[in-house]
Amino acid sequence: MTLNILHLYPKEMNLYGDHGNILAIKRRCEWRGIKTNIIHYEPGDEIPDDIDIIFGGGGQDSGQGKIEADLQKIAPKLKDFVERETPTLVICGIYQLFGHYFETSEGKKIEGTKILNLKTVAGDTRLIGNITISTPEFGEVVGYENHSGLTYLGEDMQAFGTVITGAGNNGKDMTEGVKYKNCIGTYLHGPLLPKNPRVTDFLILKALENKTGKSQKLEVLNDHIEQRAHKVAVSRPR
Amino acid sequence: MEKLSIILGKSVQKVTRLRGNGGSALPGLVIEKTNPNFVKEVLSKLPYGVVVVSGTNGKTTTTKIVTELLQKQGLKVFTNKSGSNFVRGVISAILNNIKVGGKFDYDIAVLELDEAHAVKFCEVVPINYALLLNVQRDQLDRFGEIDHTADLLQKVAAAARKEVVLNREDPRVGKIKADHPVYFGLSETLLKKFPSDDNLIEKTEAKVSDKPAKVVFEKLSKNHATYNIDGENYSTDLTLKGIYNAYNAAGALAICTTILSEADPANLIKDLAKIESAFGRGEVFEVNGSEVEILLVKNPSAFQLSIASFADDDHDYMIAINDNIADGRDVSWLWNVDFSKLKNIKMTAGIRATDMALRLKYDNIHVAKIEEDLETAVKKFTRSNKKPKRIFATYTAMLEIRKIISGKSIL
């Protein structure tokens, strides 16, 4: 079995060790005898139809500018994947652009893909530091956030988790990220997946179930180091 | 006004020292408030003016090389040795070296300033020369964005009244505009050893820039380096550790031959041979009968370069990662380094020892020991055998390890 993993804009959206998220999916598949095929998607490329997992990371402003137009073009296809329960993880920049829009401090609205019912407005301070959240599906999730955009979820949207320490979506309503079908949007870098293997395994499991059409069980891995690193990260100051 | 400031500053220094505060920031703050032109007044009297050295990696050692090369050429060089690379730090350094009567007996100032502070500094003090090394992903929680950093260096270049020495091989520094640009660079062969940040992430091949370079770092085998200066080759053994320091030496040679156009390159090369790396940058200690080298790592590109230049030897390695403020709280940059070429990693250490072990696990490298306590880690690591060893360490881990090793009593 080979899982096709779509990495959106690895050239332009690659900050904060996001490469580690792809590596986490790849290795945790390999360690279970599942092959992976990483597809680096850059503006203008074709997106294959048989995508099993989608990942998009954070970027600097110049990177975001370069992908905006292209993202609009592929938005319908991405929306279709998300609606069909394709496991998807979008972080920071791409998370924001999966919503309706990003409103800059000058009041300019950068159009999003409208895949998720949320909006983001520029804030006047950067929300930076270690963050721990509590999630209904994966328990405690730990990461590092660094964003100035403030994200507000639409009423029908469920948050990825509730902030225990840190700022989260907007520093006010205690929500962090979003979980819609099998799509997770979040501000958590760190990178997210290595220290939160339950989230990684969720993406892999859902991909396998979609591919085979039946319920699956993942082989249990020794996650001693993952758990210990998670614990250390939770204990660190902001 | 200037004399008054000197007296005032020196008095504040005395008082803060008496109170045991080391006296670094406060005198600078007082002078900055009472006489914002102080630094300008003092430094603009220097016959050769001010040289600013900036960039993400290698500032400290490069500043040291430039300073020592100019000193050997007979110049009296003022520099900010303590690594206090802020305007206030510069004020304190001046106060330490200026006579109460205002006599500031130097020919030139060579100052290491990080990108953001370099811009602020240039707004206050006119500078003659700049040496700009590279723009790489640094502690992301400090500056945020790499393009922003390139813009900062562009401002520094625009402020320089004379030559700006630029690393033509760095994709962002090579593009910086200056009235009088001078370039240093690499030969085709060496360029392959220095993947830029973009190359690391995009996995693309770098090409040598077609800009004419005053100094080209041509060859390095072991510690024997060849530089081409104004079209002629010069070779020497280096005391400096690591290929990246040898590269930055090319930048230092370029700025020194620019400032002192009459200097004989052969003499500069002879002097370069004896210069040592800066504190904590490739220092070698002897511990329990084996050689232990400490290497500071603070961002993915520098770490990757270190790994690339050591890939073929048989040292044992320890990697010590702290996440204190001075190291950067965010340790995610470790995931932008490819560790698969590094053999013999015996131990990970420091506050984020487990994070490091986790990072290695996902490169399929198993680490036998994870030891958060640095003292225990250093003890175990140096006692294990007599093989030569290297310790990669983030800033505060480096300081701590250095203390542990030089105060050998515990070993």
In the DSSP assignment, the letter for residue A173 is S
**What does the H/E/C string look like for B188-220?**
HHHHCCCCCHHHHHHCCCCCCCCCCCCEEEEEE
Statement: residue B348 has pLDDT above 90 = yes
Confidence (pLDDT) at A31: 97
Per-residue pLDDT, averaged over B344-369, amounts to: 95
- Residue B329 has its nearest CB partner, among A10, A14, A130, at A130
- Tokens describing residue B237: 């053994």
pTM of the shown model: 0.75
Confidence (pLDDT) at B94: 87
Q: How far is A44 from chain B (nearest CA, A)?
A: 17
Per-residue pLDDT, averaged over B341-360, amounts to: 94
Inspect the interface and report whether the beta carbons of B332 and A190 lie closer than 8 Å. Answer: yes
**Which residue of A lies nearest to B355 if distances are taken between CA atoms?**
A229
* Integer Cα distance of B152 and B57 in angstroms: 15
In the DSSP assignment, the letter for residue B336 is G
Partners of residue A24 in chain B, C-beta under 8 Å? 362
Nearest 10 degrees: Cα torsion B146, B152, B158, B164: -60
Q: Is any Cβ of chain A less than 8 angstroms from the Cβ of B332? A: yes
Per-residue b or e along A170-180, where b marks 16 or more CB atoms closer than 10 Å to that residue's CB: beeebbbbbbb
**Which residue of A lies nearest to B202 if distances are taken between CA atoms?**
A11
Cis peptide before A76 (omega within 30 of 0): no
Partners of residue B148 in chain A, C-beta under 8 Å? 60
Query: Is B48:B73 a contact under the CB 8 Å cutoff?
Result: no
Structural domains of chain B sorted by starting position, each given as residue range(s) with its CATH number in brackets: 50-75+107-272 (3.40.1190.10), 281-410 (3.90.190.20)
Confidence (pLDDT) at B323: 94
- Tokens describing residue B175: 């593009």
Going across the sheet that includes B316-320, the strands are: B281-287, B290-296, B389-393, B316-320, B345-349, B369-371
In the three-class reduction of DSSP (H, G, I as helix; E, B as strand; rest coil), residue A235 is classed as helix
Statement: residue B284 has pLDDT above 90 = no
Inspect the interface and report whether the beta carbons of B332 and A17 lie closer than 8 Å. Answer: yes
In this prediction, residue B201 has a pLDDT band, given cuts at 50, 70 and 90, of low
Cα–Cα nearest to B265, from B216, B211, B208, B209: B216
Residue A61 lies in a domain: yes
Q: How far is B136 from chain A (nearest CA, A)?
A: 12
Q: Is any Cβ of chain A less than 8 angstroms from the Cβ of B357? A: yes
In single-letter form, the type of residue at position A189 comes to H
Residue A190 lies in a domain: yes
Statement: residue B283 has pLDDT above 80 = no
Across the A:B interface, residue pairs with CB atoms under 8 Å apart total: 87
* Integer Cα distance of B372 and A232 in angstroms: 10
Per-residue pLDDT, averaged over B248-258, amounts to: 97
Inspect the interface and report whether the beta carbons of B144 and A126 lie closer than 8 Å. Answer: yes
Statement: residue B408 has pLDDT above 60 = no
Per-residue pLDDT, averaged over B127-145, amounts to: 73
Number of domains in chain A: 1
Q: Is any Cβ of chain A less than 8 angstroms from the Cβ of B286? A: no
Query: Is B66:B52 a contact under the CB 8 Å cutoff?
Result: no
Query: Is B410:B382 a contact under the CB 8 Å cutoff?
Result: no
Query: Is B175:B201 a contact under the CB 8 Å cutoff?
Result: no
Query: Is B54:B153 a contact under the CB 8 Å cutoff?
Result: yes
Confidence (pLDDT) at B411: 41
Inspect the interface and report whether the beta carbons of B332 and A11 lie closer than 8 Å. Answer: no
Across all residues in chain B, what is the average pLDDT? 86
Cα–Cα nearest to B157, from B170, B141, B169, B174: B174
**Which residue of A lies nearest to B201 if distances are taken between CA atoms?**
A11
- Please list the ranges in chain A whose pLDDT falls under 50: none
Residue A227 lies in a domain: no
- Residue A60 has its nearest CB partner, among B147, B323, B364, at B147
Cβ-proximal residues to A235 (8 Å cutoff; 6+ apart), any chain: none
- How many Cβ atoms are within 10 Å of A125's Cβ, its own excluded? 9
In the DSSP assignment, the letter for residue A146 is E
Inspect the interface and report whether the beta carbons of B141 and A225 lie closer than 8 Å. Answer: no
Confidence (pLDDT) at B23: 47
Residue A68 lies in a domain: yes
Range in A97-111, B100-114, B288-302 the model is least confident about: B288-302
Q: Is any Cβ of chain B less than 8 angstroms from the Cβ of A171? A: no
Q: What is the largest CA-CA distance in chain B?
A: 64
Instruction: For an interface test with A, give the residue of B136, B203, B335, B359 to mutate (most A CBs within 10 A).
Output: B335
Q: Is any Cβ of chain A less than 8 angstroms from the Cβ of B373? A: no
Residue A30 lies in a domain: yes
Inspect the interface and report whether the beta carbons of A189 and B354 lie closer than 8 Å. Answer: no
Query: Is B307:B339 a contact under the CB 8 Å cutoff?
Result: yes
Query: Is B63:B249 a contact under the CB 8 Å cutoff?
Result: no
Going across the sheet that includes B129-132, the strands are: B77-79, B108-112, B50-54, B129-132, B164-167, B181-186, B215-221, B224-229, B232-237
Cα–Cα nearest to B157, from B67, B70, B53, B248: B53
Report the CATH number at residue A88. 3.40.50.880
Cα–Cα nearest to A177, from A94, A95, A56, A88: A95
Range in B44-48, B81-85, B194-198 the model is least confident about: B81-85
Q: Is any Cβ of chain B less than 8 angstroms from the Cβ of A79? A: no
* Integer Cα distance of B389 and B298 in angstroms: 20
Partners of residue A126 in chain B, C-beta under 8 Å? 144
* Integer Cα distance of B255 and B287 in angstroms: 38
Confidence (pLDDT) at B173: 94
Instruction: For an interface test with A, give the residue of B196, B200, B354, B373 to mutate (most A CBs within 10 A).
Output: B354
Residue A152 lies in a domain: no
Outline where B73-196 has alpha helix (H).
Answer: 87-97, 115-124, 140-143, 146-159, 188-191
Partners of residue B354 in chain A, C-beta under 8 Å? 225, 228-229, 232
Statement: residue B87 has pLDDT above 80 = no
Q: Is any Cβ of chain A less than 8 angstroms from the Cβ of B338? A: no
Inspect the interface and report whether the beta carbons of A10 and B201 lie closer than 8 Å. Answer: yes
Structural domain span for residue A25? 2-122+177-220
Residue A170 lies in a domain: no
Per-residue pLDDT, averaged over B184-196, amounts to: 83
Query: Is A206:A87 a contact under the CB 8 Å cutoff?
Result: yes
Instruction: For an interface test with A, give the residue of B355, B365, B370, B373 to mutate (most A CBs within 10 A).
Output: B355
Residue position matching structure tokens 């210990």: A228
- Residue A236 has its nearest CB partner, among B323, B334, B357, at B323
* Integer Cα distance of B74 and B268 in angstroms: 12
Residue A70 lies in a domain: yes
Per-residue pLDDT, averaged over B286-302, amounts to: 85
Cα–Cα nearest to A138, from A162, A117, A118, A154: A162
What are the tens digits of pLDDT across the range B213-222?
999 999 998 7
Q: How far is B212 from chain A (nearest CA, A)?
A: 29
> Cα B237 vs. chain centroid, distance in angstroms?
21
Q: How far is B263 from chain A (nearest CA, A)?
A: 43
The residues of A carrying an active-site annotation are: 92, 189
Inspect the interface and report whether the beta carbons of A232 and B357 lie closer than 8 Å. Answer: no
* Integer Cα distance of B294 and B320 in angstroms: 10
- Residue B333 has its nearest CB partner, among A17, A27, A232, at A17
Confidence (pLDDT) at B138: 56
**Which residue of B lies nearest to A223 if distances are taken between CA atoms?**
B358
- Tokens describing residue A133: 């959240």
Interfacial A residues in 115-154 facing B (CB < 8 Å): 126, 128-130, 144, 146
Instruction: For an interface test with B, give the residue of A142, A144, A188 to mutate (most B CBs within 10 A).
Output: A144
- Tokens describing residue B157: 């270049």
Positive or negative: CA dihedral B110, B63, B158, B228:
positive
